[in-house]
Amino acid sequence: MLSILALLSLFAADEAEKLGPTVGEIMEAAPEEIWLDPDPDQLIYIETEKGTAVVRLSSNLAQGHVEQVKTLAREHYYDGLHFYRVVHGFVAQGGDASGEKDKGSAKDSLTAEFEETAPEGFTFTPLGFADGYAAEAGYTDGMPAGRDAETETVWLAHCTGAFAFGRDVGRDTASTEFYITIQPQRYLDRNLTVFGRVIYGMDAIQALPRGNFGDGGVNADEATWTEIKSIRLESEIPSEDRIDLEYMDTSSETFRQLITARSARASEFFYYRPGYIDLCQMPLPVRLTPENAE
Amino acid sequence: MLSILALLSLFAADEAEKLGPTVGEIMEAAPEEIWLDPDPDQLIYIETEKGTAVVRLSSNLAQGHVEQVKTLAREHYYDGLHFYRVVHGFVAQGGDASGEKDKGSAKDSLTAEFEETAPEGFTFTPLGFADGYAAEAGYTDGMPAGRDAETETVWLAHCTGAFAFGRDVGRDTASTEFYITIQPQRYLDRNLTVFGRVIYGMDAIQALPRGNFGDGGVNADEATWTEIKSIRLESEIPSEDRIDLEYMDTSSETFRQLITARSARASEFFYYRPGYIDLCQMPLPVRLTPENAE
C-alpha cells in the first residue's frame, strides 16, 4: 500500500511530466550545432579599467549604425574618450562629451533605424506572451526584439545590455555617442536605434561609477568619468587575446523549449508558477567555447 | 500668417499639454515633504572591496526575515563571509558557502513569507497596467510589489536590487543566505521572500565578478569570490560614515504623476509612446539629502 508521502511524490512526478523538462535538463540535452560562433567582424571589445565587455553587433538590422560603429572602431575613434554619463538603473553612455573630436571617415549623422521592415531571411522566435511594449516580443539573431504586424516593422529591444546610439531631439542626429542599458528600458524601444548586445562582461559595464543620482545627466564631476581605453573589432585583436564565446541559436528548437520551461518552471523548487515570461527576463545562453573553457 | 514650422510647433505644444508634464517638470515641482528619511534601524550597509551598497528593509512585510537579518547584522555574522554565487543576468548571492558558521541568536530556519495578507496601514500605489506576473503591480513603502485580490495577498517583487533570502527546496528553509537581483527576476515572485531593496550602490553589487556562466551554480573557483567585509545596521555606524539618503514617498501624488509621465512620455524627444510602464522599469527616486549633497 502506498504511503501518503509516496502518493505525494507520484503526484509531483505527474505534475513535472505535465510541465515538461526543466531548464537544466534542456541545456544538458542541447545539440552542439545550436552553439554559434560569432563573426569576429561582428564583435567589438570595449576596454576600461573595470574590465572587458564584448558587444555582438546585429547581423541584419540597423546596418547603417553597425557600419558606423565598425568604421569608428577601425579608426580607433573611441580610444581615450570616456563613459561620462552613467545613471543608476538606466544606462552607461560613452563617447566624446565635448562633441569636438574628429570623426574620421564616419558620418556626421545617421538616418534613424528605430524600427524597419524585416530584411530577407529574418527569423523571429516569439515568446507567445502579451507584452506592454510590442505587439509581439521575441528573439531574433540572438537578441531580444519586437515585431508589429500592423506597422510591418521589427526592432531590437532595450533589455539589459542593449547597445545603441544616443541622439539629440531630432530623429536623424545619432553619430558616435553610444549607450549600454544597465537595466531594461523598454520605453526607449522604437525611439532610438539598438544595434547590438553585450554578450560578455556586463559586470565591467555595471561596475562603472554612477553619476549624481537625481539629475540623470552628464556626470558633473569629470573625476568620476571612466576612460575608454579602446574599442576594437575582434578581427583586429590577436587570437590569443580573444575571448572564445558561443551563443545559442535563438531560432533553434532548444531555445523554444527554454522559453516554455522558463515560463512553466517544472522544477519542484517552485511553489507559484506564473506561466509567463517577460522578454527581458528570458536570457540568451552564452558560453565559453568548451575546448577553451577552464 | 503662421509658417508651417510655427504650426508644427503649436501642434507639438498642444500634444505636450495633452500628455501632461514631463518627468523633469514633476521632479522639480515635487514638495519637500515627500522625501522621506529612512529609519537607521531599517538600513543595512554591505561592504566589499567593490564599494558600499545600502539596503532598505521592508517596514511592514516579511517581518520574520527582517528581524532575522537585523539579528545577523547586529551579531556581525556576515563579516568575512563571501559573495560566492554571482550569476550573469541573475543574482549576487552571499553568506556562508560552507553552511557551518554559528548563527548566534538567529533562527535555523524561517517560516516562508513569500506573500501575505496586507498588514494594517498597508498602502499600495498601483501602476494601473497589465502585468504578466501579478494581478496588480505597483509600489508599497518605496518598493515594487504585487497584489492579488483573489488570494488577498501582497508581496515584494524581484526587480533589480531586490534583497531576499535564498532557500533549499522546502518552503521554510531560509536562514542566512541572501541574494540581490542584478536584473529583474519576476518569476521568483511568491517563490522566495523579498524583504528589502538596494537604494544606493547597485554599482558595487553589479561589479561583483560573475561566476562561470552556463552553470548558474556556486562559483567553482573560490578565488573569484568577493569577501563581505561587513554587514551593519546604519544605526551602528558612526554618523560621519553614514550616507544621507532620502527616498520618495511612493504613496504621494508626485509618485502617481511620475507613473503617468513615465508611461506617456510627454517630452518631444519621444517618437513612439507605448502608453505603458513595466513595474521594474518604474524607478524609485532616491537622492542624497540636499544639505549633504556635494
- Per-residue pLDDT tens digits for A188-242: 999 999 999 999 999 999 999 887 665 566 777 888 899 999 999 999 999 999 9
List phi, psi (to 5°) of B18. -60, -35
Which domains occur in chain A, in start order?
A: 44-246 (2.40.100.10)
A214 → closest Cβ in B169, B191, B287 = B287
Q: What is the DSSP letter of B207?
A: T
Query: Which chain B residues contact residue A210 at CB under 8 A?
Result: 202-203
Output the pLDDT for position B217. Answer: 63
How many CB atoms are closer than 10 A to CB A37?
Answer: 10
Those of residues 91-110 in A touching chain B at CB distance below 8 A are none
Q: Does the beta carbon of B65 lie under 8 angstroms from any beta carbon of chain A?
A: no
3-state secondary structure labels for all residues of B225-254: CEECCEEEEHHHCCHHHCCCEEEECCCCHH
CA nearest to B168 within chain A = A269
Q: Which residue of A has its CA nearest to B247?
A: A214
* pLDDT at position A219: 76
Continuous segment of H or E residues that includes residue B258: helix B253-264
Considering Cα of B48, then B50, then B54, then B55, what sign does the dihedral take? negative
Residue B268 in contact with partner chain A when CB distance is under 8 A: yes
pLDDT cut 70: percent of chain A above it: 90
Contact B281 A202 (CB under 8 A): no
Run means of pLDDT, 10 residues per run, chain B, 294 residues: 35 54 92 97 97 97 98 98 92 93 96 97 95 97 97 97 97 98 97 97 92 67 91 97 96 97 89 94 92 56
pLDDT, residue A216, reads 62
Helix, strand, coil abundance in chain B, percent, nearest 5: 25, 25, 50
pLDDT at residue A210, as a whole number: 85
Higher pLDDT pick, B260 / A292: B260
CB within 8 Å of chain B, chain A residues 119-148: 129-130, 132-133
| pLDDT at residue number A291 | 72
- Predicted pLDDT of residue A134: 97
> Which three cell numbers mark B69?
537579518
pLDDT band, residue A3 (cuts 50/70/90): very low
How far is it, in rounded angstroms, from Cα A263 to Cα B162?
Answer: 20
Q: Which pLDDT does position B76 carry in this prediction?
A: 98
**Does B286 lie at the interface with A, CB-CB under 8 angstroms?**
yes
C-alpha span between A176 and A154 (Å, rounded):
23
At A74, list the grid cell: 577601425
Query: What pLDDT was estimated at residue B230?
Result: 98
Among A16-20, A116-120, B177-181, B253-257, which stretch is predicted with the lowest mean pLDDT? A16-20
DSSP string, chain A: ---HHHHHHHHHHHHHHHH---HHHHHHH--GGGEEPPPTTSEEEEEETTEEEEEEEPSSSSHHHHHHHHHHHHTTTTTT-EEEEE-TTSEEEEE-TTS-S--TTS-SS----SSBPPPTT---EE--S--SS-SEEEEETTEEEEEETTTTEEEE---TTEEEE---SSTT--SS-EEEESS--GGGTTTSEEEEEEEE-HHHHHTSPP--TTT-SS-S-GGG-EE--EEEEGGGS-GGG---EEEE-TTSHHHHHHHHHHHH--STT-S---S---GGGSPPPEEE-GGG--
pLDDT value at A186 more than 90:
yes
Q: Do A189 and B213 touch (CB under 8 A)?
A: no
Rounded to whole angstroms, the Cα distance separating A62 from A178 reads 14
Sign of CA dihedral B20, B23, B24, B30: positive
CA of residue A242 relative to chain centroid, distance:
19
A79 or B88: whose pLDDT is higher? A79
pLDDT tens string A230-280? 999 999 999 999 999 999 999 999 999 999 999 988 888 999 999 999 999
Record: contact B132-A133, CB cut-off 8 A: no
Is residue B18 exposed (0-12), middle (13-18) or buried (19+ Cβ within 10 Å)? Answer: exposed
pLDDT value of residue B69: 98
What's chain A's average pLDDT?
90
Averaged pLDDT for residues A96-124: 95
